Structure 1
C-alpha cells in the first residue's frame, strides 16, 4: 500500500513521518518546497499536486489549514476530482466544516473513491509520538483497509458515519477553547488570593477541575511561551467553524461566543502567531501578575520522536 500525504505543517509533517517510520512507501505534497524536502530526505517521493499524489498512491492523507484549502485539494484544477478516484482511499485529518466535508466525501464516492474522516486531537507532541486520538468516521470496510495507516499516526476512535469525525473534532475544540480561557481566570484569581500557580496546578489535577488542557497546557504558561505550536490564528479558525455548527443546530452558545471574543482579543493584542494560551496571558497582564514557575518544562515540539 503506497501512501500519499498532502499538508506538511507542524502536525502534518510529524504525522507523515510516523507513516514513513511504519515502512510505507510515500508521495508527499505541500505548498512549501522546504516542507516536502523533510520527507524526501526520509525516502518519500515529491508529488506535483494533489491529483498527481492520488494517481501515484492507494491511500492519500490530507491535513491542511481549513475548509478553503481542503476544498482546493479536492475540487481545484489539480484536485482529486480532476483525476481517476476509482478504488482510491482518502483519509482527511483537517479540522473543517462537517457540511462541506460531507459534500466533498459524496463527490469523491461518486467517482469511485472511499473517503474516511479522521480529525485529530491532542497536540504536536502527540503527533510526534504517533499517539494522537483520531475521530474516525466512514464505512467499516473502508476503515479496516486503511487502519494500518491511521494507527501509524494515532489511536482510532470510531464515531460512526463519514462526517461525524468533523463534528466530534469541533465540539472537542469547543470545550478545549472554553477551558483554556477559563484557566486564565482561575489561575490569576488564585494567585491574587495568595495561592501560588505551581501549588494551584498540583491540587487541581485529578479533581473536578481536571482536563487535558489543565494537564498539558498549563506548563506553557509557567514557561512563558504559551505554546506557539498552535497559534491564535488556528484557534480563531476553529472557533469560527464551531460557531457555524452552533448556528446550524440552533444551539445556545453564550459561553462559546464569550470564549471566541476572548481569543479575538488575544489575537489583536499579541498577534495571530502568538500561542493559544495567550488567551490566559490577557488576564495575567491585565491583573499585573506573572504566572511564571521555574522548572524543566519541555515544550510540546521538543519531545523525542519514536526511534526508526
Structure 2
C-alpha cells in the first residue's frame, strides 16, 4: 500500500506539488488555511482535513509549504501542531523558505517525539512547481533524506542533501541572495532596451544564451515585457526571504550590499501596494521612475 502523504499549504506552488504526488499514485490528505485553494485537489481525489493535527495523525509523510516562519511554527508546534500529533516514525518535510535556526529547532523537537524532520526549501517558482522540476535543497539526517527522496523526486529534478538540519534553509538563502541582485539587473536590462528603442524580445534572443543568461532572464523577463505581473512568487514572500538572509548574514558578521539594495527596492514596491504581485514587478519601479527621491 502506498504511504499516505499529508500536504499543508496548497497555494501557488503547493497546489501543483501536491497534484504531482497524487498523479504518482500517493493517497494525499490536505489542509490549507483557505479551503477554496484546495478545491481542485479535492475534486481530483485528495481528502480534506480540518486541521494540521488531523493531517499529521493520518499521514506517513507530511509536507508543508506555508508563508512565513511564524506560519511554520503555528503548524508544527503546540498541542495542535504536527509534531505533537504525527505518528511515531513518520517524516515531516518543511519546504517553506524559513529560518535556518527554526529548522534546526524543529529537527530537535521532532527527535523527542520520534518524528523525522527535514528542511527542504525549493527554487523554480510556479513554473518549476507545475513542471515538477523544482530545485530542492535539503537539510537533515542522510537516512531520513534517503527515505523521503522518492517523494521529493516527484516534485523536483535537482535534489541535494546539503548537510545537517538547517543546511537546506542556508542554501536557499544563498539562492535568494543571488536572485535578488540578478532581478535588479534583469529589470534594468529590459528597461534600457526599451528606452534605447530596441525590440526587447529580440534583445532577449541575443543575451539570454550568453554570459548574461539566468533563470530570471529566461522566465521572468518575458513576463515583464508582456506586462504580466501575476505571482509565480509573491513580492511579500521575497521580502520575507531577504529579511531572513540579511539577519542570517549579520549573525555571521557578513555584509550583503547587493541584497540590501534589492530589499530596499522591493520594500518600495511593497509600500506602493504591490505585495501580491510577482517578483518581476520590480520592472514597474524602474520603468516608472520609482527610484526618484520624493
TM-score, structure 2 normalization: 0.92
Offset from partner CA, 1:112-166 (integer Å, 9 cap, x none): 1111221110011211121111112222211221122111111222212221111
Structure 1 residue aligned with 2:173: 170
Which stretches in structure 2 are left out of the alignment for 5+ residues?
A: none
**Residue in 2 that maps onto 1:235:** 238
In the aligned structure 2, how far is the partner of 1:23 from the partner of 1:207? 41
Superposed counterparts of 1:239-258, under 5 Å: 239-258=242-261
What is the CA deviation profile of residues 210-260 of structure 1, one whole-angstrom value per residue up to 9, with x for unaligned ones? Answer: 111111110101110134232221121111111111111111111111110
Match of 1:19 among 17, 21, 34: 21
Q: Which has the higher contact order (CA 8 A, sep 6+)?
A: 1
1:37 alignment partner in structure 2? 39
- The residue that corresponds to 1:91 in the other structure is 93
Counterpart in the other structure of 2:109: 107
How big is the alpha-carbon RMSD for the aligned residues of Structure 1 and Structure 2?
1.6
Contact 2:236 2:275 (8 Å CA) reproduced = yes
Q: Is the 8 A contact 1:55 1:84 kept in 2?
A: yes
Kindly tell me: are residues 223 and 270 of structure 1, through their superposed partners in 2, closer, same or farther at Cα, counting changes over 3 Å? farther
1:263-286 Cα distance to aligned partner (Å, 9 max, x none): 111222242122211112211122
Runs of 4 or more, structure 1, over 6 Å off, are none
Say whether the 8 Å CA contact 1:85–1:108 is kept in structure 2.
no
State how far apart, in whole Å, the 2-side matches of 1:261 and 1:152 are: 36
Structure 1 runs not aligned, ≥5 long: 288-308
* 2:180–2:258 Cα contact (<8 Å) kept: no
Deviation at 1:194, TM superposition (A): 4.4
Counterpart mapping for 1:1-308 below 5 A: 1-155=3-157, 156-286=159-289
Q: CA deviation at 1:76?
A: 3.3
CA–CA distance in 1 between the matches of 2:150 and 2:86?
Answer: 24
CA contact (8 A) 1:91 1:118 kept: yes
On the 8 A contact 1:270/1:278 being kept in 2, the answer is no
In structure 1, distance between residues paired with 2:42 and 2:187: 42
1:73-103, CA deviations, whole angstroms, 9 ceiling, x for partnerless residues?
1113410233255201011110000011111
Cα drift, residue 33 of structure 1: 1.6
Partner of 1:277: helix, strand, or coil?
helix
| Cα pair distance change 1:59/1:257, threshold 3 Å | same
- Equivalent residue of 1:135, what SS? strand
- 8 Å contact 1:263–1:279 — kept in the other structure? yes
> Secondary structure of the residue that 2:272 maps to in structure 1?
helix
Distance 1:186 1:230 in 2: 21
Give the Cα separation in 1 of the matches to 2:190 and 2:33. Answer: 40
Q: Is the 8 A contact 1:267 1:274 kept in 2?
A: no
